[in-house]
Amino acid sequence: MSEADTPWARLASRVTRVALARKDYTYGSLVEALTNDGETGGDRAIVSRISRGTLRLSLFLHILSVTGARVPERWVDALRSRKDWDARASAVTRAEMSSQPPELARDLTTSLSRLGTVMAAKTLDTQIQNGSLPLSLFLQLLYLLNSNSLERFIDQDDLAEAARSTVRT
């Protein structure tokens, strides 16, 4: 199964499309807004990543910003930063992890493997630190951390259903 065929990638696509629909943005108006704000990803590439659900958290955060979407309260400080979008994505992920009990944030790789995402702890840590986390992986982390930060864009039940469909025992 390719990355785009996973329930998590489909949710990443859906959460992004919901964010766009809530602010009445088309792909064309989004690409124009992103380009005007310095995004250099290319029109087709951006639309393709959204459609396949293979976009990074940093691009999703940039989309929320240019559309004027209201972001979760625990993300506000991280997104006020003047740093690049990768640094903001890292800060958002750390904010999510720090707001949870340490025992939930510890050994996330074991929990991720039960959801079908096998990766070394060092790889996960690197992706968190440099802000290169895929949105689909961030959604898995939100599920594991029991966070409802994206409740404006996706039902918790949908996260749980994606988890049930990918659980390995």
For 36-45, write each residue's pLDDT tens digit.
998 887 788 9
Over 80: is that where the pLDDT of 103 sits?
no
Over 70: is that where the pLDDT of 2 sits?
no
What pLDDT score does 70 carry? 94
What pLDDT score does 120 carry? 86
What pLDDT score does 1 carry? 44
What pLDDT score does 77 carry? 94
- Segment 27-74, tens digit of pLDDT: 999 999 999 998 887 788 999 999 999 999 999 999 999 999 999 999
| Counted domains in the chain | 1
Over 60: is that where the pLDDT of 169 sits?
no
What pLDDT score does 41 carry? 73
Domain carrying residue 111: 3-166
DSSP symbols for the chain: --GGGSHHHHHHHHHHHHHHHHTT--HHHHHHHHHHTT--S-HHHHHHHHHHT--BHHHHHHHHHHHTPPPPGGGHHHHH--S-HHHHHHHHHHHHHHTS-HHHHTTHHHHHHHTT----HHHHHHHHHHT--BHHHHHHHHHHTT--TTTTTS-HHHHHHHHHHH---
Mean pLDDT of the residues in the chain: 89
Confidence class of residue 109 from pLDDT cuts 50, 70 and 90?
confident
